[in-house]
Amino acid sequence: MLRNLLTSSSAALLLSLSGESFAQAPVQSGLPNAPDQTPAFDGQTRAPALEDDIDLSMKTIAKGLEHPWGLAFVDNDMALVTERAGRLRAVDLQAGTLSPPIEGLPEIDTRGQGGLFDVSLDPDFASNRRIYFSYAEPRGDGENGTSVARGVLSQDHSRLTDVEVIFRQTPAWDSTKHFGSALAWDDQGRLYVTLGERSLPEPRQLAQDLDTHLGKVVRIDADGSIPDDNPFADGHNAGTERDGLAEIWSYGHRNVQGAAWESNSGKLWTIEHGPKGGDELNVPQAGKNYGWPVITYGEDYSGAPIGDGLTAKEGMEQPIYYWDPVIAPGDMTFYRGERFPDWQDNLIIASLSPGGLVRLTLDGERVTGEQRLASSLGRVRDVAESADGALWVLTDSRDGALIRITPENE
């Protein structure tokens, strides 16, 4: 075991055989929970630490938010923020004031990890003022499931009208854990919804069941209808000889709470919570199986292996990157602005534990470097970029805050 640890943690310190330079050591993140597991390919975990000593200015814009979850910018002066307690608020970004809870939301199950989750503007928001949000919907007899609804936001940001549910995760389950749920639009106006597998031993297995939405990424049109080119649009995936629900895009996921559309490549990226170790970064492909709970890195919270303790199996996809120990990812965004010029096209990830932000450099779909930032923020649930290139984060606590991040010296 010691030899394995030295191999994974110290090999990057060795002088390259070419004699050109010393390779950079990985980020100091502690010993892995499953030290006998080995990555499927070089660079799949513990990428070289990035050397960037930029000083950050972190300004609290609004506070007093109860476990805020999702953030969407209405314009340069106003944003919408969800609170897991079941409230949606408008935030004046100049004055830092919070609106009263916006009226018109449906009933929300706020037990455990449930509540109001992500919020996103319709691609045509400027003309239709429609917003979308995901939430834990009560379904009766203690059961619930992740649902997505849309509604029209009033001009004064006080209420939603014409609210309708456009997607319901099935089956409902008596669980208060692992709801997902992030919303991401592609360039054609189709909506991706990430869904958890409800955590408990029985529903966990349904991440592999294509007759359910548990542990899936689904793709729908703006009205909830099914895109014709979904992998199971006709109920069957010709590439795998398997039948499945028409909404399903990919499957075998655990609890995906982050998603971002990468416009340069035209692909969706997701990030999901692993067990004790095994957080995953994926680029989900249509109809593909991402393995949970048959394969995973890390281990169960008890220290026991998940299933047979496998990390790879034929027919199941590998994550492009994983963390052990975890970063407990929230949402993420690709940075496109000018305020941090060295961060162009980098992936910025919210971290709940150990907290702060994680920055990744990329070469196509391979991670080339990693940096931990803003650890003083503690639990960060969401990160987003505004039109002026600033980063904004939501801190996840009973007294959560909306914080604006820019370079210190600008």
Q: Concatenated DSSP letters for 328-394? A: -EEEEEE---SSSGGGTT-EEEEETTTTEEEEEEEETTEEEEEEEE-GGG--EEEEEE-TTS-EEEE
> Within 10 A of 152 (CB to CB), how many other CB atoms are there?
16
Q: Looking at residue 17, what is its pLDDT?
A: 29
Q: How far apart are CA 157 and CA 125, in angstroms?
A: 13
Residue-by-residue pLDDT tens, the chain, 410 positions: 333 333 333 334 333 323 333 468 999 999 999 999 999 999 999 999 998 888 999 999 999 999 999 999 999 999 999 999 999 999 999 999 999 999 999 999 999 999 999 999 999 999 999 999 999 999 999 999 999 999 999 999 999 999 999 999 999 999 999 999 999 999 999 999 999 999 999 999 999 999 999 999 999 999 999 999 999 999 888 677 789 999 999 999 999 999 999 999 999 999 999 999 999 999 999 999 999 999 999 999 999 999 999 999 999 999 999 999 999 999 999 999 999 999 999 999 999 999 999 999 999 999 999 999 999 999 999 999 999 999 999 999 999 999 999 999 87
Q: Looking at residue 52, what is its pLDDT?
A: 80
Q: Looking at residue 410, what is its pLDDT?
A: 79
Q: How far apart are CA 338 and CA 391, in angstroms?
A: 11
Q: Looking at residue 23, what is its pLDDT?
A: 60
- Cβ contact 381:353 at 8 Å: no
In the 8-state DSSP scheme, what is residue 302? T
Q: Looking at residue 347, what is its pLDDT?
A: 98
Give, in order, the Cα–Cα distances in Å from 304 to each of 31, 42, 124: 17, 26, 48
> Which pTM was predicted?
0.94
Q: Looking at residue 292, what is its pLDDT?
A: 98
Q: Looking at residue 9, what is its pLDDT?
A: 39
The residues carrying an active-site annotation are 178
Q: How far apart are CA 336 and CA 346, in angstroms?
A: 8
Q: Looking at residue 409, what is its pLDDT?
A: 85
Q: How far apart are CA 321 and CA 47, in angstroms?
A: 9
Q: Looking at residue 22, what is its pLDDT?
A: 42
Q: Looking at residue 186, what is its pLDDT?
A: 98
Secondary structure class of 245 (helix, strand, coil): coil
- Cβ contact 91:410 at 8 Å: no
Q: How far apart are CA 312 and CA 334, in angstroms?
A: 28
Q: Looking at residue 269, what is its pLDDT?
A: 99
Q: How far apart are CA 4 and CA 36, in angstroms?
A: 7
pLDDT tens digits, 279-296: 999 999 999 999 999 999
Catalogue all structural domains in the chain, each as residue range(s) with its CATH number.
Answer: 54-407 (2.120.10.30)
Which residue is associated with the tokens 């990390």?
311
Q: Looking at residue 79, what is its pLDDT?
A: 98
